[in-house]
């Protein structure tokens, strides 16, 4: 399943790029079908930008201020009921990008099958990924907001996508900032990662020493070698023989400085964090 780890890592990089450039130009709304007039689809009604009524349902119509609209499909959401997903943006470009991304992300989600993914209620790629980022993943509810009249609104689908992708492998939820903090696209950012010197048996982070080995530790070295060969992704699958990973991570973290390794939620992989940050 190494290809799955690579695929998800690539999707995370792609979503970070979209988040940095287009995060406020795309909104995803889940409208419970109980709110629409009996026997009819949900109506849409324009309202002024900044109106306090935007995203509310009045007289069977969802009030919106966006210029471009696309219906993404309907599905059943546990504890919410049947919903209809609608995407909104300024000119249709952000929606098209999101729709294309949904196909790739849904395929990765369907293959990974994390515990929080309900395959029985999946539907097509658009509803699969929309449900994942609004209701399914453990981090979803931190970004979606239920409006007083019933619709659920996610005004940062790319942030939700990043959290859901991290949740596939049990990684911690990310913290998102105001747009002026993300002026540079990810390609221009310098990512801080550890460095593993096999010959010197030395693990470092920038100029700081994380751990120096005086004697061989084959299982720990296999984990470090795998991270190093893959250029230090956020997570890797278990590279060891069955039953060895948890104890090896405990040993790896012993006397470790600056960074820490973690067993993911399903026990089938390992991820790393800088100590004090997630």
E strand segments, the chain: 26-32, 43-46, 57-58, 61-64, 68-77, 81-89, 145-146, 152-154, 194-197, 202-205, 208-212, 235-237, 259-263, 269-274
Give the residue from 131, 139, 199 showing the smallest Cα distance to 164: 139
Per-residue pLDDT of the chain (278 residues; tens, 9 = 90+): 567 778 888 898 899 888 877 555 789 999 888 776 665 667 888 888 778 888 888 888 888 877 789 999 988 887 778 889 999 988 778 899 999 999 999 999 988 888 878 766 667 899 999 999 998 888 776 788 888 888 889 988 998 998 899 888 765 555 544 333 333 334 333 457 899 999 999 999 877 889 999 999 999 999 999 999 988 887 888 999 999 999 999 999 999 988 889 887 667 788 887 764 33
In whole angstroms, give the CA distance from residue 195 to residue 148: 50
Q: Where are the domains of the chain?
A: 2-176, 192-274
């Amino acid at each position: 399943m190494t290809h799955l780890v690579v695929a998800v890592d690539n999707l995370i990089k792609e979503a970070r790029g979209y988040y940095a450039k287009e995060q406020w130009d795309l909104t995803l709304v889940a409208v419970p079908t109980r709110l629409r007039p009996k026997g009819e689809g949900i109506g849409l009604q324009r309202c002024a930008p900044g109106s306090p009524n935007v995203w509310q349902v009045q007289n069977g119509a969802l009030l919106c201020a966006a210029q471009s609209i696309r219906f993404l499909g309907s599905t059943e959401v546990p504890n919410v009921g049947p919903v209809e997903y609608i995407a909104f943006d300024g000119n249709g470009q952000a929606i098209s990008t999101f729709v294309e991304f949904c196909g790739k992300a849904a395929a990765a989600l369907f293959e990974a099958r994390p515990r929080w993914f309900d395959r029985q209620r999946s539907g097509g790629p658009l509803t699969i990924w929309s449900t994942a980022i609004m209701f399914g993943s453990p981090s979803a509810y931190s970004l979606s907001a239920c409006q007083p009249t019933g619709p659920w609104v996610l005004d940062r689908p790319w942030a939700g996508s990043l959290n859901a992708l991290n949740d596939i492998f049990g990684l911690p939820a990310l913290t998102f900032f105001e747009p002026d903090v993300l002026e540079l696209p990810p390609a221009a950012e310098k990512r801080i990662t550890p460095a593993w010197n096999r010959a010197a048996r030395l693990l470092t982070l920038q100029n700081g020493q994380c751990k120096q080995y005086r004697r061989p530790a084959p299982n720990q070295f296999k984990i470090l070698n795998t991270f190093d060969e893959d250029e230090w992704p956020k997570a890797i699958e278990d590279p060891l023989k069955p039953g060895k990973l948890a104890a090896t991570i405990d040993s790896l973290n012993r006397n470790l400085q600056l960074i820490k390794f973690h067993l993911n939620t399903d026990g089938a992989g390992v991820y790393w964090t800088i100590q004090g940050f997630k």
